[in-house]
Amino acid sequence: MELSRRNFMQGGAALAAAQGNRSVSANDRIQVGVIGCGARSHELMHALMQLPQAEIVAVVDAYKGRVERALDRVGGKARSFKDYREVLAQPSIDAVLVVTPDHWHKQMVLDAIKAQKDVYCEKPLTYRSAEGVEIIEAAQSAKRIVQVGSQGMSSPIQKKAREIIQAGKIGKVTLIRAAYNRNTASGAWIYPIPPDASPQTVDWDMFLGPAPKRPFSLERFFRWRCYDDYSGGIATDLFVHLCTTIHYLMGAKVPSKVMALGQLYRWKESREVPDTLNAVLEYPEGFAVNLSATFNNQTSAESSFEFLGTEGSLNLGWGGATLYPEVAVEDNRWIVESWPKRLEEAYYRDPKVRQAEMPSTWKPDVLEGNQQLRQQGPEATVLHFSHWIDSIRTRKPYWEDAAAGHHAAACAHMVNRSAKDNKMVEWDFARDDIKA
């Protein structure tokens, strides 16, 4: 999901052209506040700035260096605040981005809804599964837009893949394999720490918020994904992307059963969560999913999907897809050759058998080979924000609303609980939460 400035600039230009370069007056722009200005937030800000319909007017973060860079990024046009509640109190602000550690998401989203702001919450929507139902109810009651930031399904390649699967072009899909692999310290979230970081530049209490009280730690602050107090690790940071895409392409809601195993094999510095995780998910819609991730090898593509259907397979990456037709030929010869010869000969005289098991007798034909699909145009994050802005304008939620975000995050929470408790975890559809 790495994004470059060049890609953002190209994507923004393409999107502007697609929209006919429609100008938006300053007072017509959606005024946006940014809560949390870490690395991912800066990518999001850069993406949002490609769209003339929105303007970033407020920023807040627990590290002064990030606030400084955020103000620089928006050309000094935003105002900084010391607390996110001050941002929500501004009547001129229409919507907010919540781009903080996971343990803060629920409170900030609920506070934003209460303040009558629309919300874009970076994935995962929740830190614990039960939080999702509360967020859904609050958003519906207040009639607020809540969109979750797993941007993949806004890409044209995933939209095309959804059309292929829903049209039955690969038959009935019964098994999906999805992986997300890395092999670097930064990929394992062991990030460099700014040289000026100290108790004078980092507001530790602001960072902790609802998390357990602990002594000041720069490692925990800047590498929070590695710690259980603030993150669900691989499952909530990476599997949630995979599950969001799977739900979107398959028209599925949430798995009924999950089993998982995870271990910490290598990256033990500044870390609690596993660096290798495997899970099996079973869906009531009639298919199973194998999820895997390791931070110890990236020979294969960083992220990939295999949708295996009865009529073909669809291999999907973040930038393209390949469609493989399934040519299944029955082969019972080794069985039938053990029968009496007269029965074997009679067996192969049967027209149905010849059609199923003797391709050399089939009518000559040319089958379409592998079909490769590649996407072009704006990067998915820019498109995802475009959908968010459209939702704010029309008051019609995009596909990845609070409910979709809740269920994608629920997959991650089920995986983590299964791996931790070493047992199968089930979903309670009546409660819309993990079964107690």
Residue spans of the domains in the chain: they are: 5-154+379-402, 162-327+368-377+408-434
* Cβ(220)–Cβ(214) below 8 Å: yes
The order of strands in the sheet holding 146-149 is 79-80, 54-60, 30-35, 95-98, 118-122, 146-149
Question: Tokens 């059309």 — which residue?
Answer: 163
* Angle formed by the axes of helices 64-73 and 39-48, nearest 10°: 20
Task: CATH number for 162-327+368-377+408-434: choose from 3.30.360.10, 1.20.1090.10, 3.30.43.10, 2.160.10.10.
Answer: 3.30.360.10
Which amino acid appears at position 197 of this protein?
A: A
Separation between Cα atoms, residue 232 and residue 375, nearest integer Å? 31
- Segment holding 342, helix H or strand E: helix 341-349
For residues 222-226, average pLDDT: 98
At 60-82, the pLDDT tens digits run 999 999 999 999 999 999 999 99
4 has pLDDT over 60: no
For residues 300-309, average pLDDT: 82
For residues 200-213, average pLDDT: 98
Categorize the per-residue pLDDT at 421 as very low, low, confident or very high, splitting at 50, 70 and 90: very high
- For domain 5-154+379-402, give the fold: Rossmann fold (3.40.50)
148 has pLDDT over 90: yes
Please report, for the chain, how many H helices and E strands are present, in that order: 16, 16
pLDDT of res. 295:
96
Categorize the per-residue pLDDT at 328 as very low, low, confident or very high, splitting at 50, 70 and 90: confident
pLDDT of res. 27:
58
Categorize the per-residue pLDDT at 270 as very low, low, confident or very high, splitting at 50, 70 and 90: confident
Q: What is the DSSP string of 38-58?
A: SHHHHHHHHHHTT-TTEEEEE
* Cβ(44)–Cβ(99) below 8 Å: yes
pLDDT of res. 366:
67
200 has pLDDT over 50: yes
Residue 233 falls in which region: left (phi positive, over 0), alpha (psi -120 to 50) or beta: left
Q: Which 3-state string (H, E, C) describes 269-295? A: CCCCCCCEEEEEEEECCCEEEEEEEEC
Angle at 203 between CA 200 and CA 205, to 5 degrees: 135
Q: How many residues can be counted in the chain?
A: 436
Separation between Cα atoms, residue 354 and residue 349, nearest integer Å? 7
Q: Is the pTM value of this prediction over 0.85?
A: yes
Q: What is the largest CA-CA distance in the chain?
A: 91
Categorize the per-residue pLDDT at 319 as very low, low, confident or very high, splitting at 50, 70 and 90: confident
